[in-house]
Amino acid sequence: MSQTMTISSTSATETFKSSPVAQNIMDESAKTSEEMSKLAASRHTPDYTAATGQPLTHYHSFFSELLSWRNPRASAIAYASTVSLIFAVRYLDLLRWTFKITWLALFATVTAEAAGKVLFNSGFVTQLRPRRYYTVPKETLNTVVGGVHELINFFVIEAQRILFAENVWASAGVALAALISYYLVKIVPYWGLALIATTVTFFAPLIYTTNQELIDAQLKHASEIVNAQTAQLRVVAQRHTEQAAQVAKQYVGDYTSKAQDLLKGARHHEQKPASGIKADDFPAAPKADIKPEPEFPEVPKDEIKPVVEEVEKTESDPLLS
């Protein structure tokens, strides 16, 4: 009876493997594994560099390959995994589940170990204990740390490339997304914003690659319109600049001439006498020879003689004596 059941189960397995459904599942599994291998192999430093000339990280090529949907199964799995993680964080109490699983596992091991020692003088968990505890190899740890370091640098470099407008369209798209998120955050929870951002991040490149010719034509037309308007504005600005320069030059010339006239008037005013009196209105000063006065006056010689004569007369006149 058991042999008959074994034969029947084997035949059922062989029949299922040969069925179209099983063949389709196997083919899809093989293709998915191949695409995942291609995606993992795409992690290499790209040939192109940033605008500053510095090399980029291998995550630039990885995310470029992932979001390009050249491996659709791998990209779909990554999108489904990200969305599932968002919903799990939103609707599942992962922290409580972690605590619950922890105490259940420890309670089971402690109970089994105690029961084994009581019944068989040897714990059940002791029999399952490995001879050597597992440790993380240094190579694995270095690989993980290096990957985390490269991932952090990827976000840091991309943020700076967007901030300094290395790609104008990418910076404009991020600015538009930030503006929309600024208003959506008032009515949409954070997990909803994360879901929207993930969907846009994965499906915007897919929409572009699917309708690349149409989108490129529209972008080219918009670029031509922008260039035409820019050229027109440049011509108008140049014309207004020239007119402003001419007007400024004219004003500078006028003010310069006025300043020169004011300076000439001030000099002429300094040369003229006060209150309009001319120098010819005054008579010329006399040109008489002025001798310097002596320090001591001369003794008058003419006045001494009469006085002497009078003295002599007085002495000779007896009446006066």
Extents of the domains making up the chain? 19-91+148-210, 93-134
Contacts 24+ apart (CB under 8 A), 307-314: none
Number of residues in the chain: 321
pLDDT of 320 reads: 43
Tokens read off for 36 = 């995942």
pLDDT of 319 reads: 45
pLDDT tens series, the chain, 321 aa? 445 545 555 665 666 566 677 778 888 888 888 888 888 888 888 888 888 888 899 899 999 999 999 999 999 999 999 999 999 999 988 889 999 999 999 999 999 989 888 888 888 888 888 888 889 899 999 989 998 999 999 999 999 999 999 988 889 999 999 999 999 999 999 999 999 999 999 999 889 888 888 888 888 888 888 888 888 888 888 888 888 888 888 888 878 888 877 777 766 665 555 455 555 554 555 554 555 555 555 555 555 455 445 545 555 554 444
d(CA 90, CA 94): 9
Distance between the two ends of the chain, CA-based, in angstroms? 211
Neighbour-count burial for 228-255, b at 16+ CB within 10 Å, e otherwise: eeeeeeeeeeeeeeeeeeeeeeeeeeee
Tokens read off for 168 = 């104008």
What is this structure's pTM? 0.64
3-state secondary structure at position 34:
helix
CB 58 within 8 A of CB 173: no
